[in-house]
Amino acid sequence: MFNHPEYDNHERVAFCREPEVGLTAIIAVHDTALGPAFGGCRMWPYEDEGAALTDVLRLSRGMTYKAAICQLPYGGGKSVIIGDPQRDKTPDLLRAMGRLVEGLGGAYIIADDVGTTLDDLAVMRRETSHTAATTASAREPLAVTAYGVLRALETAAEVELGRSDLAGLTVAVQGLGNVGLPLCRYLRERGAELTVADVDADRVATAEREVQATAVAPEAIYRQPVDVFAPCALGGILNDGTIPHLAARIVCGGANNQLLSPSHDAALAARGIVYVPDYLANAGGVIDFHQESIDDSAGAVLAAVARIGDITRDVLAQASAAGETPLAIANRLVRRRLAAARP
């Protein structure tokens, strides 16, 4: 594992298997210099354990960067359960996951993610106190990640395109799940024109009906002549095969790990495309968790998440002044904050 390409001096990687309840899981704690590791639990039918390990290592590092760029008192962690959430998830499996989290003694705080829900966290809380969504208000659905992406996108459109509002702005949204579809609703409310793609036909139909989106095939979403491309599905989608086809001026979305490799940041810049770091645009979840301990009302949470727009403005300004990419600036800020927090 120490030679794994995604290993980044992670502090702890825990592997767990409880065959009697069908649990095969990995928890990765990346960095706790700023505080306990926080991050979601993803349940997914990975093709093998190697793919699951790659995902959890990358995602946990991303959580460290989300917390640090937003100056929050948390480190980064993530967990993955190998399995189909529709078929394999049971209360016994979730309770076993809770025991695994409890065994880490508070080093990792678990949240919901792809394939898990707030109800699943409630089952885990029978075995551990180290979970998100512990208050009644926090258990109410609120599209915090989508709202954070919206604020980053609005700021990028203002700074890079000179837009005072989003009326008539064209946006291609890839993925219509728990982030992509709410983002579409926010954008439509502000007058944006939407092109969408998803492998789920029902989600596409919902977007066509609710936000008057134009649907295209998943493989065509990269080629759309739009102002903004918003990836809100899988990671690794910005790569040698897709970047040459992008017509957008800005990339800003909710997906994690959008770049297949760090070199693709430079590839976007070479084409004049401004890339808002994914871990900044999609940091709404960790801000939401922190806000639970202060004021967890919906208005207070969204006001806190709106700070993503201010951070985006600062990063873009520094990037312009230094002649560097926004990702290079954001990464440097994160590394400085982590270094300052260590003895």
Beta carbons within 10 angstroms of residue 214's beta carbon:
14
Inter-residue long-range contacts of 46-55, CB under 8 Å, 24+ positions, other chains counted: 46/80, 46/82, 49/24, 49/82, 52/26, 52/80, 52/82, 53/1, 53/4, 53/6, 53/13, 53/26, 54/4, 54/5, 54/6, 55/80
**Partner residues linked to 77 by β-bridges:** 29
Contact 150, 191 (CB under 8 A): no
Q: Under a CB-based contact definition with an 8 Å cutoff, are residues 207 and 196 in contact?
A: yes
3-state secondary structure (DSSP) of residue 327? helix
Q: Which of helix, strand or coil describes residue 250? A: strand
Q: How far apart are CA 155 and CA 190, in angstroms?
A: 14
DSSP 143-191: -HHHHHHHHHHHHHHHHHH--SS-TT-EEEEE--STTHHHHHHHHHHTT
Concerning whether 78 is annotated as a catalytic residue, the answer is yes
Task: Say which of 58, 78, 95, 188 is annotated catalytic.
Answer: 78
Q: What is the rounded distance in angstroms from the CA atom of residue 272 to the CA atom of residue 257?
A: 20
Cα→Cα distances 270→158, 192, 226, Å: 21, 27, 18
The residues annotated with a catalytic role in the active site are 78
